[in-house]
Structure 1
């Protein structure tokens, strides 16, 4: 089957026939139901939403989001920005009841708005399936309500919605003896103890970590002006290379953002398979003292560093090798240096050549994590194990140790977005992907352990720090959800009481294998990859070929690299303690299964039956 697009003519293989998770060309509008994996597809591909005159039921928050936030991101992100700028109060919900016109036939309680009547084929042609709400702030003459009357009492405290406090940017230096070098981000509105040991982007770029000379920022979504301001003043004019996947109009807008900043240069990632994305999130930092790699889950926009749960792996400071060192010098037991060089080479980008050479000149031998990357392409033979979930399977086969009774060790996947899994679980999830996640060493055992998928429910989003707008970063669409109702039996609530992150919705993505009592880990991955075939790859042609659409990057922690049999689970990771051998899992184990009343968050249907923590409702059309 062939289709035409701005990328030219392309062919859909048999594995794609039931797959609606493809993206439109950059600069094209498409419903999130047809976007692949990210909770923040931030290609700036949508125009600013049109606004209509307000009704008396619409009020304005005293501290509106910047206008630029209406232009950055996916349709779901833009909708969240509009809802924050012009919230619809809960009291107005009766007048909006007509928005919920069409009940889902399965009786799940979901509803479709008018815009959802469009055929899915419209999305393949670049037409919008769901529209951003059309609302207008009240007349400038209208008196703004006082802050204390603007929102109902919040369970998170009076000031959880305000801007960062003065001490929020106080730099933190993690203990140099930290075992795992895994950190969460700082979250505004949490108790100070739940930010202990956490990092903000300003901490990462602080001179406390090194005297910066130059840097590279790999990401999907960029706010260039905001990003530049996160560098300390003494580093703000140093060269920065932006690695992105935007094309055409989106690329032009990104370049326009950087016009005031001559130190910013660009490298466009080659997306050889139509509708792939550059979703990798990584920093390369070159110092006078050495070199550092940060692999993380945050986009380079303020919202991702404010009230969401994010994670990152921060490498040690890699020293420069002596001149004349061999080509294999500075390698780690996990072959991190070799794999990083291979990943960078996959871009085939002249702009990265100098960075490849710099990495070759540094000693990465202290690294104890394995690199798990995805790059776009169709791979056969030995190349099938280079990228995506088959890369993870190969690492688990070669380096993980078998565990007695492993058939009872459950798999947990946690993510912020969901692609199309197929008509039933055997199409991908319970077939090739589960086989990867259950691989442990070179034994022939093919267990069928429990699989728990952690994804926020509607109530998780409603009661979060951001309220319903947090759902803009959780773009699971009604069109995709209706096609895979079987998937929802796997779902578990987002709960993170031990870390204090329960009310900060996740943009982090983690996959792990745990003991039956959830006190031990066989392995854990921190990655940019959501639950998506586009991100992890899918087998084709009778399992003789694997197709990967997108760039992704993460790190795998294996106990053998830390001289352990398993990782103990650190149930109370704050304040952070380098003396603990436990891994700081960012959510509570065991996971809590959805109750009969719980529903997964769906971004493009209305929620007007109960107010969020700001007293507002969610009206997507």
Structure 2
């Protein structure tokens, strides 16, 4: 069957889903990570070429992502006559991959497997299935020399096809802006200036930032062998605690990945509500010099740190309190310490007790952001304001300030995954979520300003650095899209010329309130939460109860915490300067979809035009 809309005509699979209450999270962006085929050689700038998989590749877990209903499998077409790389889950143009069974999730095989982005879909039931067949191993183990003729010319320059230069990672403490402590990730293939002041995971774990003793990695998607390599050699055997949400077979595979690494230990997050995921992405780093928190949008797989747009808040090093200090000491004006300890306590995990004690012994008074978390549960009374979007609403009510003409200040949401929100906009988006997003102080005014939702179009994905495989981390399914065509009227293109990331598809998730001329912000949030009820929570029982399915975490920037009335928007974040302007990661004002634009939908064909690597996207 087919479906027409003002954003184009789609071929729709016969599978159907009638449950509008189940949210579909998209890509590691969402609560589960969608797999991303790397037709272009996902772990490097080299095109796909025959090679033997690395020894650790076979241990990386492939975990499917929750979805509403079985969907078609995906295949990425290569140029005619080009061999598929070993260990790449991308069959040739004339082959089809095994069924995804409506799910997708994690893994990155030595940089060349499908990188699954997390999805918040509330309706997942298939787990642990492989997402594709591997190409037969090549008899040659030596990587052949890459010739110019192997691929069409790249619009992103010749450097796209080579490995990162030696100085891609830090050689000295990078130039950072300490005003907001909000950073983007380094992206391979960009002009050097757009990586100035950006961070790679190796930068974060560098000895230049502290002498590491122990760490905790909270995340949704893991490639353990790759993660271990990101630690510098002098810290590579320091204890690491992995906090995850995997169960049964998926958990067994994760544990199997860690067998070669005795310094890695595990903590399983309790997911007591169906279809919830552990989507939080946070690092706790304990140094000889103190303690640091990083809250990010990246999974612990190579693809998420390679050519996607990610964001993070990195705290300063919090010093240890003097012996004998009370538990309430070392608090920040934003109560960051209290809220972080409350979030960790929500896991009810013995493995985190030592860290709760350790954090209590440090001075977190320099934190200037508010913590916005989600934890699974049904909450009533005052507990309703502890988590999810009602937590955000409470913070904006208490700490944001009304602005003149606020009814004209648009709300902007930007994400990489979309859940099911009902048959019309009032069911959740405008009837519940928008009320939170439009809260500004204790004003009784409840305006209905414009809402701009930034989500990549098909053409954004096609012309990206990764090409169509980038769409594996944007898992908006046709089954969900066809039930909420009303949503697409809100969509705006992903454009990020000021940060150089227009062609690095977003896995970052941000929400903000901007002035009508887009030069000021009333507040800004970077988070793991995509646009879904699973991530943000939904009211039940006539608004007397809120139900949250997933773990999420983000930080809220409010001008009053920085002694400002509003945040001025920084128009040119790169190269980095210590400006008072806020470095919004995409262009303002957002660009509305044209009548020819279609939102990226990951389980229908996209073969009208080849991508930047000459490939097409063909579900079977």
Bucket of the pairwise TM-score, normalised by the shorter protein = 0.7 to 0.9
Cα-to-partner distance string for 1:284-314 (whole Å, 9 max, x where unaligned): 0001110000000000000000000000000
Question: Take 2:451 and 2:123, find their aligned partners in 1: how far apart are those partners?
Answer: 32
Alignment match, 1:414: 414
Q: Secondary structure of 2:216's partner?
A: strand
- Tell me, yes or no, if the aligned pair for 2:174 and 2:197 is still in contact at 8 Å: yes
Alignment match, 1:13: none
Alignment match, 1:608: 607
Measure how far apart 1:619 and its partner are. Answer: 1.5
Residues 172, 556 of structure 1: CA spacing in aligned structure 2 closer, same or farther, 3 A cutoff? farther
Question: Take 1:257 and 1:115, find their aligned partners in 2: how far apart are those partners?
Answer: 24
- Tell me, yes or no, if the aligned pair for 2:281 and 2:299 is still in contact at 8 Å: yes
Question: Take 1:38 and 1:169, find their aligned partners in 2: how far apart are those partners?
Answer: 24
Measure how far apart 1:170 and its partner are. Answer: 2.5
Alignment match, 1:505: 505
Cα-to-partner distance string for 1:497-549 (whole Å, 9 max, x where unaligned): 00000000000000000000000000000000000000000000000000000
Question: Take 1:71 and 1:203, find their aligned partners in 2: how far apart are those partners?
Answer: 26
Measure how far apart 1:74 and its partner are. Answer: 4.0
Alignment match, 2:49: 61
- Tell me, yes or no, if the aligned pair for 1:172 and 1:198 is still in contact at 8 Å: no
- Tell me, yes or no, if the aligned pair for 1:171 and 1:203 is still in contact at 8 Å: no
Alignment of 1:272-421 (within 5 A): 272-421=272-421
Alignment match, 1:530: 530
1:442 aligns with 2:463: no
Residues 36, 600 of structure 1: CA spacing in aligned structure 2 closer, same or farther, 3 A cutoff? closer
Question: Take 1:115 and 1:214, find their aligned partners in 2: how far apart are those partners?
Answer: 39
- Tell me, yes or no, if the aligned pair for 2:26 and 2:32 is still in contact at 8 Å: no
Residues 335, 614 of structure 1: CA spacing in aligned structure 2 closer, same or farther, 3 A cutoff? same
- Tell me, yes or no, if the aligned pair for 2:74 and 2:618 is still in contact at 8 Å: no
Alignment match, 1:459: 459
Cα-to-partner distance string for 1:427-447 (whole Å, 9 max, x where unaligned): 000111000000000011010
Cα-to-partner distance string for 1:133-191 (whole Å, 9 max, x where unaligned): 668569869x9896322211111012314332221122453557610000100000000
Measure how far apart 1:279 and its partner are. Answer: 0.3
Question: Take 1:98 and 1:369, find their aligned partners in 2: how far apart are those partners?
Answer: 50
Question: Take 2:137 and 2:596, find their aligned partners in 1: how far apart are those partners?
Answer: 37
Give the root-mean-square deviation of aligned CA atoms.
3.3
Question: Take 2:381 and 2:65, find their aligned partners in 1: how far apart are those partners?
Answer: 39
- Tell me, yes or no, if the aligned pair for 2:216 and 2:241 is still in contact at 8 Å: yes
Cα-to-partner distance string for 1:106-154 (whole Å, 9 max, x where unaligned): xxxxxxx9999xxxxxx969469x995668569869x989632221111
What 5-or-longer segments of structure 2 have no aligned partner? 1-17, 38-46, 84-91, 103-121
Which shows bigger deviation, 449-458 or 143-152? 143-152
Which shows bigger deviation, 319-328 or 190-199? 319-328
1:427 aligns with 2:427: yes
Question: Take 1:445 and 1:225, find their aligned partners in 2: how far apart are those partners?
Answer: 53
TM-score (norm 1): 0.83
- Tell me, yes or no, if the aligned pair for 1:193 and 1:575 is still in contact at 8 Å: yes
Q: Secondary structure of 1:324's partner?
A: coil
Alignment match, 2:195: 195
Alignment match, 2:112: none
Alignment match, 1:590: 589
Alignment of 1:462-481 (within 5 A): 462-481=462-481
1:39 aligns with 2:17: no
Measure how far apart 1:20 and its partner are. Answer: 3.1
Measure how far apart 1:366 and its partner are. Answer: 0.7
1:262 aligns with 2:262: yes
Alignment match, 1:18: 20
Q: Secondary structure of 2:482's partner?
A: helix
TM-score (norm 2): 0.84
- Tell me, yes or no, if the aligned pair for 1:88 and 1:618 is still in contact at 8 Å: no
Residues 268, 133 of structure 1: CA spacing in aligned structure 2 closer, same or farther, 3 A cutoff? closer
Question: Take 1:174 and 1:265, find their aligned partners in 2: how far apart are those partners?
Answer: 31
Question: Take 1:440 and 1:272, find their aligned partners in 2: how far apart are those partners?
Answer: 33
Measure how far apart 1:249 and its partner are. Answer: 0.4
Measure how far apart 1:244 and its partner are. Answer: 0.3
Alignment of 1:209-248 (within 5 A): 209-248=209-248
Residues 484, 204 of structure 1: CA spacing in aligned structure 2 closer, same or farther, 3 A cutoff? same
Q: Secondary structure of 2:452's partner?
A: strand
- Tell me, yes or no, if the aligned pair for 2:75 and 2:93 is still in contact at 8 Å: no
Question: Take 1:90 and 1:208, find their aligned partners in 2: how far apart are those partners?
Answer: 47
Alignment of 1:150-189 (within 5 A): 150-171=150-171, 173-174=173-174, 178-189=178-189
1:72 aligns with 2:71: no
- Tell me, yes or no, if the aligned pair for 2:559 and 2:566 is still in contact at 8 Å: yes
Cα-to-partner distance string for 1:33-88 (whole Å, 9 max, x where unaligned): x55664366689x9x99xxxxxxxxx9535788655985354699x999967x735
- Tell me, yes or no, if the aligned pair for 1:478 and 1:602 is still in contact at 8 Å: yes
